[in-house]
Amino acid sequence: MKFLTEYRDPELVQEYLKKIHRITTRPWTLMEICGGQTHSLVKNGILDMLPEKITMVHGPGCPVCVTSLSVIDEAIYLAEQSGVIFCSFGDMLRVPGSTKSLLEVKAAGADIRILYSPLEAVELAKANPDKEVVFFAVGFETTAPANALSVVHAAKSGVFNYSILASHVLVPPAMEAILSDDENVIDAFLAAGHVCTIMGMEEYYPVAEKYKIPIVITGFEPVDLLQGILMAVQQLEKGEFKVENQYTRYVQREGNIVAMKTIFEVFEKGDRIWRGIGSIPNSGYEVNDQYKLYNARLKFNLNLPVAEENAACISGDIMKGLKKPKQCPNFGTACKPEHPLGAPMVSSEGACAAYYHYSSSTGRKEVIT
C-alpha cells in the first residue's frame, strides 16, 4: 500500500476484524503504548468492533501526560524569571502544575512563546542576546533528536543564552515498570511505531524474552492497528512471545543511526519521575556534562521541592492499564479539557481526552463505515 487512504480502507478493516474474531478463543488484554494509537482506536470505534474477549487498555504513551508535576513547576518557575523567554510546544501550556499552568503564567505577563521546532528557539536566542531563551524539551525518543540537534547547533554557533529543560521519557523502561507491577494485567503490547522509527527494535527483544510477552510494533491508522492486534492475538493463541514489526514501511530493526548518534552525543540516561506512576530507573534523558552549559536545571540552579500528585486524578492507574478513563469518578464532571485535574484530559494524545471527545456515551463516536 502506498496511500494513506489505503490504511483506512473499510474493506481491509472488516477483513482484519473477521480474522481477529475467528482466532480469538480466550480473554486477552492488550496495551497500546502510544496516545496516538489510543486516539485512533477510540475515534474510529475500533474498541467496539473487537471481540468481547479482547480488552484494550491504554499505556503511558503520551509524553505530555507523564510529565511530572515537579517538571511543570520547574517550567513555570523559569517562565516567571525576569529576562527569560520560555519556549514550548503548545500542548504543554494547559497542563496543570501543582498550583497553576503555563497558560495562566502567560496570561499574567510571562514571555512564553509557542514554537514548532527547538531550532526556532535557537534562532530566537540569536535575535535576543540580552535574554535567556529556554526550550521545554518534552517527548519520547521521537522528539529527542531535534532537541539534541538544537543544543549541538547552539554550541557550534556560539549561542550561550540558550538552554533546554529536558523532560524526555523512554518507552522500554516504562514497559518493564508496568510488567513488574504486582497488579499487571497486560498479555501483549502494541509498541509505538514512531519511537521505533528512531530507536529500532533491539531494545524490545530482552523485554519480550524476560516477561514472555508478545510485542508488535504498529502504526497509527485503523488498518495498522487491526493488523497489529491480529499479529499479537495470533502469538497469544499459539503461546508465543516474539517482537514483530507491523510498521515495516518506516521501522527498521537497527533504527535511525544518525538520529541516535545525535541523541547520544547530547543526552545521557537517568531516573525520571512519571506523572501518576512514580520514579522509573534510567527512563529519561538529561543533558550530559559535555553540554552542561545548555542544561537549564544547572544554569538556573533549579532545586524545587517535589510536588504532590493530585489525589483526585487516577491517571496513574489509567496509564498502567488498571482502569479506563470512564472509571474515574471525576471524568467529564470535575475533570474536563477546560478544567483538567490531570494531563490525560488536556493533552491532544491523552486517553481521557480521547474518551471525552470520541467515546459513544458522549454521542461523539466516529465508526468506520
Output the pLDDT for position 365. 38
Residues 257/273/165/102 CA torsion (nearest 10 deg): 130
Cα distance between residue 153 and residue 114, in whole Å = 20
Neighbouring CB atoms inside 10 A of 238's CB total 11
Question: What percent of the chain stands above pLDDT 90?
Answer: 83
What are the Cα distances from residue 22, in Å, to 48, 51, 237?
A: 16, 9, 11
Mean per-residue pLDDT of the chain: 93
- Name the band, by pLDDT with cuts 50, 70 and 90, for residue 63: confident
What is the predicted pLDDT for the residue at 2? 67
Q: Are 206 and 176 in contact (CB under 8 A)?
A: no
- Residues 6 or more apart from 318 whose CB is under 8 A from it? 58, 276, 324, 325, 328, 344, 351, 352
Confidence at 299, pLDDT banded by 50, 70, 90: very high
The grid cell for 69 is 508535576
| Rg, C-alpha atoms of the chain | 21
Strand duo 267-274 + 132-139: pairing: unpaired
Q: What is the pLDDT of residues 118-137, one digit of tens each?
A: 999 999 999 999 999 999 99
Write down the pTM of the prediction. Answer: 0.92
Q: Give me the helices (H) in 222-299, please.
A: 222-238, 257-266, 296-299
- pLDDT at residue 360 in the model: 62
User: d(Cα 227, Cα 200) in Å, to the nearest integer?
Assistant: 20
pLDDT greater at residue 80 or residue 339: 80
Cell 529543560 belongs to: 165
- Give the tens place of pLDDT for each residue, 2-43: 667 788 889 999 999 999 999 999 999 999 999 999 999 999
More confident residue, 145 or 346: 145
Query: Which three cell numbers, joined as nine digits, stand for 157?
Result: 554557533
| pLDDT more than 70, % of the chain | 96
For the chain, which domains are there? 1-304 (3.40.50.11740), 315-362 (no CATH)
Q: Is the pLDDT of residue 276 over 90?
A: no
Residue 56 grid coordinates:
484494550
pLDDT in tens, 196-233: 999 999 999 999 999 999 999 999 999 999 999 999 99
Q: How far apart are CA 238 and CA 242, in angstroms?
A: 11
Closest by alpha carbon to 337, among 349, 322, 319?
A: 349
* Residue indicated by cell numbers 504532590: 308
The pLDDT, as a whole number, for residue 119 is 96
* Sign of the four-CA dihedral 134, 135, 140, 141: negative
